[in-house]
Amino acid sequence: MPNVLIYDAAGAQCGELALNDAVFGIAPHVPSMHLVVRSYLAAQRRGTQSTLTRAEVRGGGRKPWRQKGSGRARQGSTRSPQWTHGGVALGPKPRDYVVGVNRKVKRLAMKSALSSKVRDEEIKVLSALPLDEIKTKEVAKVLTALDTGKKTLIVSPESDEKLYRSARNIAGVKVSPVNNLTVYDILNCDTLLLLQSAVEKIEAIYAQASEEESV
C-alpha cells in the first residue's frame, strides 16, 4: 500500500496518508492510457472543416471551348480542380473524430495514470486549501511552498469557484474537481496536487468500481 506525505498550506509535513492499492498502487497499463488520451484529444476536434467539390461550386456549366481544333487542352468545365475558382479534389468534409472507449478501459486508464504519478513521485497531498476570498497570491504562495512543477494540476473534491478563479491566472496551473478529472490532465502535469478530501472521493469512486468488476 503506497504512502504519501500530507502537507499543509505552509508547505510543512503534517501527516502521512496510506493510499488505496486498487486505485493508486496498480501496475500502469500503458495501452489503456494511450487509448483514452487519443479519445480525449479526438473529442476536442470539431470536425466541421469543409471544402466545395466541383459539383458544389457555382458556375462552370458551359464547356469553355470546343473539344477539337483550338490547340488547347480539352476542358469540360471551368470549375474543374485545376482551374482558379474550381472545386477542390479530395478536400476535407465534415466528419466525426470520436474514438470509442468502454467504461472498464476508462477506469483502468484513470487508475493507471494515478498509479504512475505515485510511482514517479509526482503526487502531493494537501490537507486543505482554505480561501476566504478570490486571491491569486494566496494560491501562488501555497504552490511555491510546496515546490510544485511548471505544470500543476490541483484536484478538489467539488467544484470550487474561489479556488478556480484564484488559480486560473497562474501559468501552468489548472484546477479540476474530481468529477471532471481526465487521464490527459493527469499525465500532462508535472505535479498532481490532491486535496485530502479529493483523495477520499477518488478512492470511493474507483475502489468501489474495482470491487464491482472483480465480482
**Whether 62 and 142 share a structural domain:** no
**Whether 14 and 117 share a structural domain:** yes
End position of a domain, from candidates 61, 96, 131: 96
Cα(187)–Cα(174) distance, integer angstroms: 13
**Whether 87 and 108 share a structural domain:** no
Q: Report pTM.
A: 0.83
**Whether 86 and 150 share a structural domain:** no
**Whether 36 and 73 share a structural domain:** no
**Whether 79 and 20 share a structural domain:** no
Q: What is the pLDDT of residue 209?
A: 58
* 138-191 residue pLDDT tens: 999 999 999 998 999 999 999 989 999 999 999 999 999 999 999 999 999 999
Q: Where are the beta strands (DSSP E) in the chain?
A: 3-7, 13-18, 123-126, 152-156, 173-177, 191-195
Query: Does pLDDT of 215 surpass 60?
Result: no
Query: Does pLDDT of 82 surpass 90?
Result: yes
**Whether 158 and 52 share a structural domain:** no
* 5-25 residue pLDDT tens: 999 999 899 889 999 999 999
Where does the pLDDT of residue 207 fall: very low under 50, low under 70, confident under 90, or very high at 90 and above? confident
- The DSSP line for 20-63 is PHHHHSSPP-HHHHHHHHHHHHHHT---------TTTSS---S-
Where does the pLDDT of residue 108 fall: very low under 50, low under 70, confident under 90, or very high at 90 and above? very high
Where does the pLDDT of residue 213 fall: very low under 50, low under 70, confident under 90, or very high at 90 and above? low
**Whether 158 and 112 share a structural domain:** yes
**Residue type present at position 28:** P
Structural domains of the chain, count: 2
End position of a domain, from candidates 74, 96, 118: 96
**Whether 162 and 188 share a structural domain:** yes
- Domain membership of residue 8 as a residue range: 3-42+100-214
**Whether 26 and 55 share a structural domain:** no
Q: Return the CATH number at 167.
A: 3.40.1370.10
What Cα–Cα distance (Å) separates residue 124 from each residue in 120, 145, 157, 203? 11, 12, 15, 16
**Whether 51 and 144 share a structural domain:** no
**Whether 123 and 181 share a structural domain:** yes
> Is 157 within 8 Å of 119 (Cβ atoms)?
no
End position of a domain, from candidates 33, 67, 96: 96
